[in-house]
Amino acid sequence: MITRAAHEMSAAMASGEISSVELTQAHLDRITSVDAQVHAFLYVDTEGALAQAQSVDDARARGESVGPLAGVPLALKDVMAQQGIPTTAGSKILEGWRPPYDATVVSKLKAAGVVILGKTNMDEFAMGSSTENSAYGPTHNPWDLTRIPGGSGGGSSASLAAFEAPLAIGTDTGGSIRQPAAVTGTVGVKPTYGGVSRYGLIAFSSSLDQAGPCARTVLDTALLHEVIAGHDVHDATSIDAPVPQVVRAAREGSVKGMKIGVVKELNGDGYQAGVRSRFEESLELLAKAGAEIVEVSCPNFEYALAAYYLIAPSECSSNLARFDAMRYGIRVGDEDGASAESVMNLTREVGFGREVKRRIILGTYALSSGYFDAYYGSAQKVRTLIMQDFNKAFTSADVLVSPTCPTTAFKIGEKANDPLAMYLNDIATIPVNMAGIGGMSLPCGLAPEDGLPVGFQVMAPAMQDQRMYSVGAALEASLLSQWGAPLLSQIPALVGAK
Binders of other proteins among residues 264 to 303 (CB under 8 A) are 300, 303
Of 110, 330, 464, 490, the residue at the interface with other proteins (CB under 8 A) is: 330
Among 77, 92, 108, 190, which one carries the catalytic annotation? Answer: 77
Q: Of the two residues 148 and 362, which places its CB atom closer to other proteins in the complex?
A: 362
**How many residues belong to the chain?**
498
152 is catalytic: yes
In the chain, the amino acid numbered 452 is L
Residue of 257, 268, 337, 496 that binds other proteins (CB under 8 A): 337
- H helix or E strand, kind and range, residue 37: helix 20-38
d(CA 251, CA 469): 9
* C-alpha separations of 240 from 244, 334, 435 in Å: 12, 45, 18
Question: Is 435 an interacting residue with respect to other proteins (CB under 8 A)?
Answer: yes
Q: What are phi and psi of 221, to 5 degrees?
A: -65, -40
Measure CA 339 to chain center.
40
CA angle 106, 355, 430 (to 5 degrees): 65
Residue 176 appears among annotated catalytic residues: yes
Compare residues 54 and 345 and give the one whose CB is closer to other proteins: 345
157 is catalytic: no
- Packing angle, helices 218-228 and 465-483, rounded to 10: 160
63 Rama class: left (phi>0) / alpha (psi -120 to 50) / beta: left
Residue 23 beta carbon to other proteins: minimum distance, rounded to whole angstroms: 32
> What is d(CA 260, CA 254) in angstroms, rounded to the nearest whole number?
12
Binding range to other proteins, per CB under 8 A, among 52-60, 150-158, 260-268, 349-357: 349-357
Q: Pick from 326, 448, 449, 451 the residue near other proteins by CB under 8 A.
A: 326
Of 5-13, 49-57, 116-124, 330-338: span binding other proteins (CB under 8 A): 330-338
* 344: CB partners within 8 A, 6+ apart: 324, 325, 326
In angstroms, the Cα distances linking 128 to 123, 151, 463 are 5, 6, 27
- To other proteins, the closest distance from the beta carbon of 343 in angstroms equals 5
What residues numbered 359-398 form the site for other proteins, per CB under 8 A?
360-362, 364-365, 368, 370-371, 374-375, 377-385, 387
Identified binder of other proteins from the candidate list 148, 344, 399, 459, rule CB under 8 A: 344
Please say which residue, 28 or 85, places its beta carbon nearer to other proteins.
85
- As measured in angstroms, the least distance from the Cβ of 5 to other proteins is 32
In the region spanning residues 47 to 106, those forming contacts with other proteins, defined by CB under 8 A, are 97-101
Which residues from 414-433 bind other proteins, rule CB under 8 A? 419-420
The smaller minimum CB distance to other proteins, of residues 218 and 379, is found at 379
Q: Residue 272 — φ and ψ, nearest 5°?
A: -55, 145
CB nearer to other proteins: pick between 48 and 99: 99
Applying the rule CB under 8 A, the residues between 228 and 257 that interact with other proteins are 233, 236-237, 239
Binding mask 183-222 for other proteins (x = CB under 8 A): ----------xx------------x---------------
Is 2 or 306 the residue whose CB approaches other proteins more closely?
Answer: 306
H or E segment and range at residue 74: strand 73-77
Q: Distance (Å, rounded) from C-alpha 189 to C-alpha 183?
A: 14
Q: Show contacts with other proteins in window 15-54 (CB under 8 A).
A: none
27-to-20, 36, 131, 323 alpha-carbon distances in Å: 11, 14, 22, 35
Least Å distance between CB 441 and other proteins?
20
CA distances (Å), origin 112, targets 100, 192, 214, 391: 21, 22, 16, 36
* Cβ nearer to other proteins, comparing 360 with 479: 360
Residues with active-site annotation = 77, 152, 176
